[in-house]
Amino acid sequence: MNANSEADSHLTDPRWTVAERVAQAALRRFPADVLAVAVHGPLAHGDDDGGGDGEVGMLVVTYRPGAGPAPCTRRVDGVLVDLTVAGAEDYLGQARVINSLWPLTADRYVTTRPLHDPTGWLRTLRDEHLGRLARARPAEFSAAARQAWYRGYAAHARAAKLAEWYETDQALLMLGEARLAAATVNGLLARTYFRDPGDAVRRTGLAGADMTEVGTVLARHSEELAARGQPVDGTVEDLLTP
């Protein structure tokens, strides 16, 4: 997207209008507390189809934890706004963590669009996260993938049981959770992050996977995790040993 099209999107997309209003209101009401305000998600990438129907993910960074507005989700003028509020050091700490949800959270550290960032703090956030990735050992991603695998295995097993009981709606919900967890395992094993859950299942080919296909993917994951020294099966001693 070039500069002109970016400017046009700011003028025509009601989500940008709402985001800018939120930023201005936060700065006006909490002038001594707010360090930075940004958007993440589709608006930050700047290449979605706009239209005002999507959610606006916003971040308000404060100098101190507990300061500024309260985190919340509200619909404002027809636009759903998901407002994250975090102290600067706390959020940097989150950006340094590699866990089982990393493929679904990393994008908000790496891709943000500032609405207020006079000190360049958002660049620091991105650099902290990328630096942590550069230092991460392969075993860290494998261990996180194993935790995500357990989540997918449990959801898949529950979905299969519900299907046997003809609880179709609940089975489909659990199958959706299993698909997302399996996609997350893929992301961790490949050290790849996604924009959102929908992007995760689409890019890993799991968006339309049925019960058998998801089970096959999870079985393949268990073999790869074992080959990486992170077997999904263990002993009681393994369970009690950090």
Q: What is the residue extent of each domain of the chain?
A: 3-135, 138-240
Residues 241/172, Cβ–Cβ less than 8 Å = no
CA 181 to chain centre: 12
What DSSP element (H or E) covers 177?
A: helix 168-190
- List of residues 6+ apart from 183 with CB closer than 8 A: 103, 194, 197, 200, 201, 203, 204, 206
**In this structure, what are the phi and psi dihedrals at residue 135, rounded to the nearest 5 degrees?**
-90, -15
Tokens of 68: 């500024």
- List of residues 6+ apart from 21 with CB closer than 8 A: 76
Count how many residues are written for the chain.
242
- Residues 123-170 have pLDDT tens digits of 999 999 999 999 999 999 999 999 999 999 999 999 999 999 999 999
Local confidence band at 10 (pLDDT 50, 70, 90 cut-offs): low
pLDDT at 53: 53
The domain made up of 3-135 is a member of CATH 3.30.460.10: yes
What DSSP element (H or E) covers 76?
A: strand 72-76
Mean pLDDT over 34-56 rounds to 80
> Is 112 a residue whose pLDDT tops 90?
yes
- Residues 147-156 have pLDDT tens digits of 999 999 999 9
**In this structure, what are the phi and psi dihedrals at residue 139, rounded to the nearest 5 degrees?**
-60, -30
Arithmetic mean of pLDDT over the chain = 93
Mean pLDDT over 109-134 rounds to 98
pLDDT at 6: 52
